[in-house]
């Protein structure tokens, strides 16, 4: 089974040129997108063979997620049960036969001005995932808006106290992993440098690979032996993020 995740930074913009070629190239069984920045009815996608799940943010042009799945889920839900965040369309969960699949767009702490709000989110979301994990294994993907360790960004020293690389955000990510989840790309590539998923539009950052790895597939620990590959698709352009993929043996 193949999964893909991509923060598209505005799906309407990507649909003009970049999205469908990437969608077809990646050929995923389940394709998750974040930061769609759309409202209901603003775009109709003709994706033959895929069920579509959309979670729009109430605020126009902000946040939002979607999942396109070849597999009919047993059930699906939107949000984590906390209205402050659920109104922003940040989470979609599909319940499949043997696992849960969760797509997430984690709130940005915006120059740490929203750090307290981000910390609250982290606790709510970790509780949400661990509750799911008690029922069956979890695959969660998306834009987590944090580079976990210095290896996960080009310039860790100068960004030490920046949003996305603060001690507080990194600590919460560690707490999530310690609650029973695996950053599968880093587990498979423990010393690989230069592996990034987001680049600023400024200063030709993508051209020089001055990036951050802030997009992840996390899996329940007991799924580790079921993973055949985890990749960063940095040859695909369009957004300021690139897609990431996960391949599994039968689940």
Q: Which residues are catalytic?
A: 105, 143
Q: How far apart are CA 139 and CA 26, in angstroms?
A: 18
CA nearest to 216, candidates 125, 132, 89, 134? 125
Q: How far apart are CA 126 and CA 169, in angstroms?
A: 13
Q: What's the length of the chain?
A: 251
15-21: long-range pairs with CB below 8 Å, 24+ = 15/43, 15/45, 17/238, 18/236, 18/237, 18/238, 18/239, 19/238
CB 46 within 8 A of CB 19: no
Q: How far apart are CA 246 and CA 139, in angstroms?
A: 10
């Amino acid at each position: 089974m193949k999964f893909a995740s991509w923060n598209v930074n505005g799906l309407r913009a990507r649909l003009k040129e970049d999205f469908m070629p990437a969608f077809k190239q990646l050929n995923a069984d389940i394709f998750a997108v974040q930061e769609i920045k759309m409202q209901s009815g603003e775009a109709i996608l003709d994706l033959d063979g895929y069920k579509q799940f959309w979670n729009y943010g109430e605020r126009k042009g902000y946040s939002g997620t979607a999942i396109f799945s070849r597999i009919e889920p047993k059930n699906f839900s939107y949000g984590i049960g906390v209205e402050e965040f659920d109104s922003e369309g940040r989470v979609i969960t599909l319940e499949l036969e043997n696992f849960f699949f969760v797509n997430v767009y984690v709130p940005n702490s915006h120059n740490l001005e929203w750090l307290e709000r981000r910390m609250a989110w982290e606790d709510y979301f970790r509780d949400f995932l661990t509750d799911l994990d008690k029922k069956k294994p979890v695959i969660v993907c998306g834009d987590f808006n944090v580079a976990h360790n210095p290896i996960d960004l080009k310039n860790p020293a100068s960004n030490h106290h920046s949003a996305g690389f603060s001690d507080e955000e990194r600590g919460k990510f560690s707490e999530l992993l310690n609650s029973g989840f695996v950053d599968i790309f880093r587990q498979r590539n423990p010393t690989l440098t230069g592996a990034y998923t987001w680049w600023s539009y400024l200063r030709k950052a993508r051209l020089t690979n001055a990036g951050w790895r802030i997009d992840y597939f996390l899996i329940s620990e007991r799924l580790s032996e079921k993973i055949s590959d985890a990749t960063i698709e940095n040859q695909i352009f369009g957004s300021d993020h690139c897609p990431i993929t996960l391949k599994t043996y039968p689940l």
